[in-house]
Structure 1
Amino acid sequence: MQRLAFHIVYPLLKLISILPFKLLYLLSDIVFVLMYTIFGYRKKVVRANLKLAFPEKTTKERNKIMRAFYRHLCDLIFEAIKSIHISEEKLKKRFKFENIEMIRDIENQNKSIVLMLSHYGNWEWIFIMQSFIKSRGYGVYKRLRNKHFDKLVRDIRAKFNTDLITTKETIEILTKSKLNNELSISGFISDQSPKPQKAYHWNEFMGVYVPVHTGAELLAKKFDSTVVFAAIDKVKRGHYVCRFETLASDPSEFDDYEITDQFLKLTEDQIKKKPEYYLWTHKRWKHRKKREI
């Protein structure tokens, strides 16, 4: 059944991926009408998330953010499909780096990097950074249920010299990497919601007390990696710029979860500035609770 589903859907994805961007965004506009106006995909979730994150805003203000977010979401979907076919040259024109030399400076110090980022802007396209640096790229992800689509996603990343690894594989692979004296840069989308029973740390995110992923910080301390935050901003439709900020050159000098809390604060700053570019459809606040005093 998985193979059948893949062979039915993949030719359509392949066809879409070869379309010029003008046609791609025309399709995005059509899907926006279907998703937002007709079917209302996850509107209840988005509306609830926005109310939690921005209780001070009026309903009209939150609805304006929601509408802009759905337009961005549809663009994201088609940009992800475009990744199947897009060339390195075209992707470099659409996803730029303000200070890639900072990553190179860390490499020159013979240090590996733990890269922390969030579901903001277009996090999918950041893998093009491998074209500018020498470190081996690893993206920590959750394996897709359909093994054929999972392989497709892996192949897309591999095309740009990034290997996707699951959380269960991370320690083993990074240990081997360190033993082989390999410089690595490991990307963690760290704004996700862990299960409460597995959470080591809780803190406020957008004013709501929630469990927080701490894996990136823990691994940075274990492997003595420099921790870097990637802030991705949407400049205009189909164009993004990424700016790097060092959170910790020596993670061992920081108290437990201090680096993670820095990441949360920087992500909050991004969201408050341009909230429409955050992924409001995922249930980031589903495990919230009142903060104990």
Structure 2
Amino acid sequence: MKDYLIYILYKLFRGFVLFLPKGFMKIILNLLAKLAYILDKKHRKYAKINLDLVYENNISEERKEEIIKNSYFNLIYNLYEQIENNNLELEELEKKITLENENIITEALKDNKNIILISAHYGNWEYITSYISLKYAPTTMVGRPLNNKYLNDDLRKSRESHNSEMLDKKGSAKGLIKALKNGRIIGLAIDQHVPVNRGEKIKFLGHDAIQTDSSTRIAIKTEALIIPVFFIKDDFRKYTIKFCEAIDPLKYDNDINKITQLQADAMSNQILEKPDDWFWQHRRWKDIYLGIYSK
């Protein structure tokens, strides 16, 4: 019953998103973001611990709080965009988008390369399932099912509405390889925590971390290019999609750790350039710095 009530509230919110004037909707979203920041003490604490670890005393406490607040704004805007974009076609989406280094992906497509887009939970990463799918080629994503069945079914339907498909995280490797063989673009967000025995030890934001090597291994197996891409929030309903230099595993002798580190470097550089857009609230380093989040 609880899950269904939450789902009904979500559907009501979805109705507001689709029918209220954009200016009024922005006011509501800003209020929701402020409310989430105030009420979500647990994840606000995790965000502060992460910022202390990464920046130490190199930025002020006021700046750290500003980054955390902006991160909540980004999450709420992300939810809004996901709902709105589900009902928009490419022509309407392009009005919201500025492209940076687009030649990186267009040249890869021209050369008939298999493409793996890697990103972080940064800005509006859901644009992979909307804009990227409509603009360049159908995409295949991987995600963990939501605990709420009703929300999960709705989210999957939303993500798959623009030539995109969603695979469950467990046992997804075969599906991803098949997708590449069928000419689809793979999109993976690889910035979150993974267990020590499930990835490579690398440096992320200046600190030891474990990062999934799934994108690396699939790229090696399929001779794919790995292209880091970030969806940077410029303003309400305005984003820059930034493609970064492609990583060709063959240039690095298929060195799994090196290739995985290059992906971590791309994410670290973007996060440090504009930290306000990253999802600081997750426990990224819990297996490296034991007990860090139980302070």
Q: Which AA in structure 1 matches 2:47?
A: V
**CA displacement 1:183-220 (0-9 Å, x = unmatched):** 12100101111012x33311221222121111111111
What corresponds to 2:242 in structure 1?
243
Mean CA deviation greater in 123-132 or 80-89: 80-89
What corresponds to 1:53 in structure 2?
54
Q: For 1:149-164, what aligned pairs fall within 5 Å after superposition?
A: 149-164=151-166
1:204·1:210 contact (CA, 8 Å) conserved in 2? yes
What corresponds to 1:195 in structure 2?
195
SS of aligned partner of 2:95: helix
SS of aligned partner of 1:192: coil
**CA displacement 1:74-123 (0-9 Å, x = unmatched):** 32233233344444433221133334343232223222111110111111
Identity %: 23
What corresponds to 1:24 in structure 2?
25
Q: Could you tell me how far apart the structure 1 residues matched to 2:62 and 2:31 are?
A: 24
Measured after TM superposition, the shift of residue 150 of structure 1 is: 1.8
Unaligned runs of 5+ in 1: none
2:249·2:259 contact (CA, 8 Å) conserved in 1? no
**TM (normalized to structure 1)?**
0.87
Say if 1:163 and 1:270 are closer, same or farther in 2 by CA, change over 3 A: same
Measured after TM superposition, the shift of residue 250 of structure 1 is: 4.4
Q: Could you tell me how far apart the structure 2 residues matched to 1:8 and 1:74 are?
A: 18
Query: 2:207 aligned with 1:205, yes or no?
Result: no
Q: Could you tell me how far apart the structure 1 residues matched to 2:59 and 2:177 are?
A: 47
What corresponds to 2:43 in structure 1?
42
Q: For 1:199-238, what aligned pairs fall within 5 Å after superposition?
A: 199-238=198-237
Q: For 1:167-186, what aligned pairs fall within 5 Å after superposition?
A: 167-177=169-179, 181-186=181-186
Q: For 1:43-122, what aligned pairs fall within 5 Å after superposition?
A: 43-55=44-56, 56-122=58-124
Unaligned runs of 5+ in 2: 291-295
Query: 2:276 aligned with 1:276, yes or no?
Result: yes
**CA displacement 1:211-258 (0-9 Å, x = unmatched):** 111111111111111111103322223211112224323447331221
Q: Could you tell me how far apart the structure 2 residues matched to 1:145 and 1:157 are?
A: 17
SS of aligned partner of 1:168: coil
2:140·2:166 contact (CA, 8 Å) conserved in 1? yes
List, as ranges, runs of 4+ consecutive aligned residues in structure 1 with deviation greater than 6 Å. Answer: none
**TM (normalized to structure 2)?**
0.86
What corresponds to 2:134 in structure 1?
131
Count of residue pairs brought into register by the alignment? 286
Mean CA deviation greater in 45-54 or 71-80: 71-80
Q: Could you tell me how far apart the structure 1 residues matched to 2:59 and 2:17 are?
A: 38
Say if 1:31 and 1:3 are closer, same or farther in 2 by CA, change over 3 A: closer
Mean CA deviation greater in 183-192 or 223-232: 223-232
